[in-house]
Amino acid sequence: MSVRKISIIGSGRLGSFTGYEIVYRELAKEVVLIDIIQNLPQGEAMDLNQMASEKGKSVLVKGSNDYKDISDSDIVVITAGFARKPGMTRLDLLKQNAPIVRDVALQIAKYAPNSIVITVTNPMDVMTYITYKITGFPKERVIGMGGQLDSARYREILANIFNVSRNSVKALVIGEHGENMLPLARFSYVGGIRVSDLLSLEKIKEAEEATRKIAAEVIALKGATVFAPVSCIASLIEAIVKDTKEIIPVSAYLNGEYGLNDLCIGVPAVIGKKGIEKIFELNLNEEEKLRFYKGAEIIKNAINELRQLAII
Ligand code: NAI
């Protein structure tokens, strides 16, 4: 099962490798890579077409510097912008990436008005909000990728703690895709048993801290995170293309859910062919609420900062 066309804005590490995954999983008939750098998307496209040829995949990849080429895309992925350098937080990228994502969103609204947009650029929750506001798309069609990746990382940490197969671990992280992400031991399971029933409070805190810090560790070691985020982007696309109705934590525009309005933040959502088809509201306890709403406050402050700078 595939859609006709998926476009990726930004042909750097995440963009080009997302192209690879789409070809490999045959999720679209056509993939378009866009970048501001001349020749880069064209070169990536040639390389990917040759890969497709070797694997016998019927997906055509095109590279371009012209947004006209994203016309009538079914799905558009935004990876354009600056990435964290060692020592930086995601929020440090706010002022650099906001104008980029705003411009990209304008182009998407113009050329691919019926698309579902997946925003990846950091700080992702705020960039997802910009995408939602600037495209004017219905909230179902604007999805931020982050909590899915944080959950994969939490799962990895839990599997290591318990020394069990990753397949026996269900892990959930919601909230801000940043310093205040909320790994949920009460909503995560090892062999069907709640993690909060298996670990001491101290161990739970350690696992939470490790989940928050692990991306920065990868960046300190190899300069960027690539394989894990790209795998998440591709699985998200797959859930849309195949209408799987999987529950995936994504950054969604909230309109009263969790008592919040007018921001995007990570929540569990049903993902299908319409995009975000339903948001699940978890019954958070006081401590969990503290972290969740702290993250929401940080996102709101960042949005207000961009308003004051007239970026949105
Ligand atoms: P990269 O630097 O390899 O690629 C970014 C690309 O965007 C570059 O090729 C650049 O030329 C292009 N670009 C910049 N401005 C543009 C514009 N106006 N129009 C089109 N293209 C433009 O960066 P990488 O590693 O691919 O990361 C991309 C973004 O994704 C970063 O903001 C990074 O922080 C974020 N990220 C988000 C994750 C998440 O979980 N949401 C995980 C990992 C990275």
Enumerate the β-bridge partners of residue 119: 78, 144
90, 126 Cβ separation under 8 angstroms: no
Q: Domain 5-144 carries which CATH code?
A: 3.40.50.720
Which protein residues touch ligand 1 with a CB less than 6 Å away? 9-15, 34-37, 79-84, 93, 97, 100, 103-104, 120-122, 124, 145-146, 149, 177, 224-225, 229
What b/e sequence results for 119-138 when a residue is b if at least 16 CB atoms lie within 10 Å of its CB, and e otherwise? bbbbbbbbbbbbbbbbbebe
Question: Is 177 in the active site?
Answer: yes
CA 117 to the chain's CA centroid: 10
**Percentage of the chain with pLDDT > 90?**
99
Distance of CA 213 to the CA centre of its chain: 17
Average pLDDT of the chain?
A: 98
- In the chain, what are the domain boundaries? 5-144
Q: Which one-letter amino acid corresponds to residue 150?
A: D
Report the pLDDT value the prediction gives residue 164, as an integer from 0 to 100.
Answer: 98
Taking the model in full, what pTM does it have? Answer: 0.98
The pLDDT value recorded for residue 198 is 98
How far is 198 from 185, CA to CA, in rounded Å? 9
The pLDDT of 193-210, averaged and rounded, is 98
Q: Are 14 and 21 in contact (CB under 8 A)?
A: no
Exposed / middle / buried, residue 250 (Cβ in 10 Å: 0-12, 13-18, 19+): buried
CA distances from 249 to 33, 125, 208 (A): 26, 12, 17
| Model confidence pLDDT, tens digit, residues 81-136 | 999 999 999 999 999 999 999 999 999 999 999 999 999 999 999 999 999 999 99
